[in-house]
Amino acid sequence: MSRVPVLTIDGPSASGKGTVAERVARALGFHYLDSGALYRLTALAAMQAGVALDDEAGVAARAAELPARFHEGRVWLADADVTDAIRAEAVGEGASRVAALPAVRAALLERQRAYRQPPGLVADGRDMGTVIFPDAATKVFLTASAQARAERRYKQLIEKGNSASLRALVADMQARDARDTARAVAPLRPAPDALLLDTTHMGIEAAVQAVLDHHRTQQGN
């Protein structure tokens, strides 16, 4: 077991966990792991290579040799800046499909643990507290109602000049939650020792503060 501290922040899509995790990492001066990006990169690499997303061995081989790099807020796949490309709906959908394949999750396991470097790590995803870092001292499970999460995503899309349907977003959100929660390997669920934080009626700043307060309390234990 590593002595390097880890804070895990898990939760469903658009719960705000990425933004909260990044800000908590900055406040503590810790490294930050966006594990969802690794699944998105795997899906993108497979799609670009013409590997079918249900070809478990083929996709796992891509995951095992993923030429991924995170640098100053940008995400690279070999020599290509794919920061925006991995956020496309089709890639998110692909990520959620490849994430259900056990060989793909196994291929990404050690890679995720390798991000645990001094002075500490904040890791966000679906199984950070349950599977990847079960010994983390601080675990948070961030939720918000599907309606609230869809409204947040709707606002982001409209602000970026895209058209969007709130009703379709609520349906997408529920479908992705159902797939992440029902899958056999590493399903989305809170670790028994996680703090449950419902952000339906909570702003980002308040959520960041709640995580930092919880971390401080855990350190005292």
Give the per-residue contact string, 65-94, with ligand C5P (x = CB under 6 A; - = no): ---------------------------x--
Give the per-residue contact string, 4-23, with ligand C5P (x = CB under 6 A; - = no): ---------x----------
Give the per-residue contact string, 32-51, with ligand C5P (x = CB under 6 A; - = no): ---xx--xx-----------
Query: Among 126, 139, 153, 215, which residue interacts with ligand C5P (rule: CB under 6 A)?
Result: 126
CB of 53 to ligand C5P, least distance (A): 12
Query: Among 180, 191, 207, 215, which residue interacts with ligand C5P (rule: CB under 6 A)?
Result: 180
CB of 39 to ligand C5P, least distance (A): 4
Which H or E run contains 74? strand 74-77
CB of 194 to ligand C5P, least distance (A): 14
Q: Is 116 in the site for ligand C5P (CB under 6 A)?
A: no
Query: Among 15, 96, 130, 199, which residue interacts with ligand C5P (rule: CB under 6 A)?
Result: 96
CB nearer ligand C5P, residue 109 or residue 166: 109
Q: Cα–Cα distances in Å, from 196 out to 96, 147, 208, 214?
A: 23, 18, 13, 11
CB nearer ligand C5P, residue 177 or residue 215: 177
d(CA 91, CA 48): 11
d(CA 186, CA 132): 10
- Residue 141 near residue 197, CB atoms below 8 Å: yes
Binding segment for ligand C5P among 50-58, 74-82, 95-103, 150-158 (CB under 6 A)?
95-103
Main-chain dihedrals φ then ψ at residue 151, nearest 5 degrees:
-65, -40
User: Which one-letter amino acid corresponds to residue 104?
Assistant: V
Residue 195, judged by CB atoms within 10 A of its CB (0-12, 13-18, 19+), counts as buried
Residue 151, judged by CB atoms within 10 A of its CB (0-12, 13-18, 19+), counts as middle
d(CA 37, CA 96): 11
Nearest Cα residue to 40 out of 88, 80, 73: 88
Query: Among 23, 24, 63, 125, which residue interacts with ligand C5P (rule: CB under 6 A)?
Result: 125
CB nearer ligand C5P, residue 5 or residue 94: 94
Q: Which chain residues interact with ligand C5P by CB under 6 A?
A: 13, 35-36, 39-40, 92, 95-96, 99, 125-127, 176, 180
